[in-house]
Structures are given as structure tokens and as C-alpha cells.
Amino acid sequence: MAPVRLDPQGYFRRIPLTPERLTDRITATLDAIVLCHLGVPRLEPREWSLTIDGMVGKPRTLRFDDLLRFPKIEVASIHQCAGSPLQPFEPTRRICNVVWGGARLVDVLAPSEPDPAATFLWSYGLDGGTFSDIGIDAYLKDLPRERIAADALIAYEMNGKPLPAENGFPARLVVPGFYGTNSVKWLTRMTFADRRADSPFTTRWYNDPILDENGAPTGTTRPVWSIAPESVIVAPAPDRTLPVSVPVEIWGWAWADGGVERVEIATCGNDWQPVALEAPDGRQWQRFSLNWTPPTSGQFNLASRATARNGATQPDAGRRNAIYRVPITVA
């Protein structure tokens, strides 16, 4: 493949919607999160190819027309940026809920006859350059093999239209329920292996320290894969003034890899109370709500806390999924 033009080159992002603007169940494509570590490759579908190699019986290279021959599926799911790998515990709330269209990853990989001993799938993007003063030949991430057969796909559409360049056109990996860093854009190569990839984005960045029961580092880490339970309040918006003794709906979105089973809201301090919560629908976010009547005038800090179906709960602070708080005035 000829050298790919990057425009822009280097780190590029689009500021996502703040929580009070996340009013739609499906996020418009122009409002979806964009974060590109190394630039935005520009190419046409006829220039695109995907090589499947490594621990396989039949290495193959597919063109874009080959990809279109696989049955097309659509998957609606949350898509969340894990935040900067240089500041891994800073909450960013970079979240959207979109509909991906493309081919099931397991269908695309099956004809290559993956070796049963291969435990990881490496995914390469076309973007390369420098990040944090380190030269990168290509953006490279890995996945545990058991995740392939779920709902991962090679997407070429977003919300029913071809992917925009900054979202991975012509084709990208999408791993619903995993942080966006794992859904490699401008996908060009996939390699089966029996170990994790040797990329700075897997060995140096996007690995969280594991803490003991006292909150101290244990010296071990875990990959930034599954999305941790999180929630945001959409309304009321921050710094809004509400009338005393007038009912108002507090509502927002909650999400986690595997779904959320409980959301609580606090209107003052730690007065957590369970609220109405939608049942999980695939890997989309879930709407929650509480009808609240402000009892008195004053300053309030509204907060929501999600608990995943696996029992994990949003922490108060210190993690990327820390509790989100909304200051309001009642007068």
C-alpha cells in the first residue's frame, strides 16, 4: 500500500458533548467522540485492504469489496473514550451511544482458520507517527480471543452512513463494551498470537494499576478493556436555579460493559436512594430517573451512582469513572 496521507497529523480530538447535552438516545455522528493519537489517515475504499495473519492456517488479504460480501449487521452500543493514557484516572465523560454497521468479526476471521492455541488478536491501524515523544510505526492494540465471538465487528457505517474519516473510514474495528482505545480505526492488519502485543499502547499506556483493599498499588496492572460502571445526570443542568417545592425530574444515562443493574441518586450529601432504571438493551446506555421535589431553598449537589451487573460500583473519586456531581441552586 502506498504511503497514507495524514490530515491532520499528530494528536487530534473533537471535544465531546457535555453531560447536559446528551439528550438523545442515539448520538448524532457529528457529536460522537473523536480522539486520534497519531493523526487522521485519508484514503479511498479501493485503497483499503486488511491482512489476516499470525497463528492461522490460511493467511489472507481482503479488499473493501470482499468485506461488503459478508452479511451486514448493526449494533447499537455505547462508545467511550478512556481518556488520556497520560492521565488515566481523570474523569472525562467522553461518551456517546451510536449504531455501527458492518461485518461480524468472527465471520471475517473464520476462513483464515485461527490456531486454537492463539489467545490474543492484535489489530493494527494505518495511523503512525509520534505520541508523547515516542515514535510509533502503527497504532496497535490487542484483544483476548474470547471477545471475538461476541458482538465485535469490522464497521464501515456509523448511524447508517459511511464512517467519517476521523471515525475510521473506510473500515474500523468495533468492540462494544470495551473502551474506544481498543476499537482500532483505519484497520489494516489483524494478527493471531499467543501473547499480548508489544506496542506502547499495550505495554506502556492503557494499563491500570490494581489497588489493594486500602487503595494502595499492588504492583500489578490490568488492561483497559471493559468499560467500568458509570452514569451522568443530563437534567437538571449544572448551575441551574430551581424553584422550591416544585417537582422536577432528575434523569440521565448509566452504562457498563455487561449492563447496569442499579442506579442511585443523592440530592444532599450521601442520601443515596434507588431510582427507576431501564432494563439493559444490548450494550446501549440505560436511562434512569427520579421525581424530586426540592424541600427547601439553598445549594444542592446532585449525584448519580451506577452499579454494574457484576457488582462493581462507581467510586467516589480517583478513577476515570468517578461519580459525577451537578451543583444547583434552589430558590
**All domains in the chain, ordered by first residue:** 5-223 (3.90.420.10), 230-330 (2.60.40.650)
Residues found in the chain: 331
Q: Give mean pLDDT, residues 50-69.
A: 98
Please give the single-letter amino acid code of residue 3.
Answer: P
Say what the pLDDT of residue 275 is. 98
With contact defined as beta carbons under 8 Å apart, do 231 and 252 qualify?
yes
| Segment 267-301, tens digit of pLDDT | 988 899 999 999 999 999 999 999 999 999 999 99
Which stretch of 8-12, 171-175, 229-233 has the lowest confidence by average pLDDT? Answer: 8-12
Strands 187-193 and 49-54: parallel
Average pLDDT over residues 252-259: 97
More confident residue, 213 or 331: 331
Residues 75/176, Cβ–Cβ less than 8 Å: yes
Residue 84 is predicted with a pLDDT of 84
* 248 vs 149, more confident: 248
Span 16-55, pLDDT tens digits: 899 999 999 999 999 999 988 888 999 999 999 999 999 9
The pLDDT score that the predictor gives to residue 218 is: 84
CA distance 31 to 252: 17
Residue 170 contacts residue 187 (beta carbons within 8 Å): no
As beta bridge partners, residue 130 has 135
Quick check: 252 and 275 in contact, CB under 8 A? no
Neighbours of 87 (CB within 10 A): 9
2 has a pLDDT exceeding 70:
no
| Cell numbers linked to 194 | 499467543
CA 179 to chain centre: 3
Residue 216 is predicted with a pLDDT of 77
Closest CA to 252 of 18, 6, 1: 18
Q: Using one digit for the tens of pLDDT, what is the confidence trace for 68-117?
A: 999 999 999 999 999 888 888 889 889 999 999 999 999 999 999 999 99
pLDDT at 168 > cutoff 60 = yes
Q: Which three cell numbers stand for residue 306?
A: 451506577
Spatial neighbors of 112 by CB under 8 A, at least 6 apart, are: 52, 53, 56, 57, 58, 59, 60, 192
Q: What is the mean pLDDT of residues 222-244?
A: 97
Phi, psi angles (nearest 5°) of residue 131: -135, 125
Q: How confident is the model at residue 3 (pLDDT cuts 50, 70, 90)?
A: low
Mean pLDDT score across all residues of the chain: 94
182-219 confidence digits (pLDDT tens): 999 999 999 999 999 999 999 889 998 887 777 777 88
Predicted pLDDT at 88: 82
CA distance 239 to 235: 11
Residue position matching grid coordinates 457535555: 18
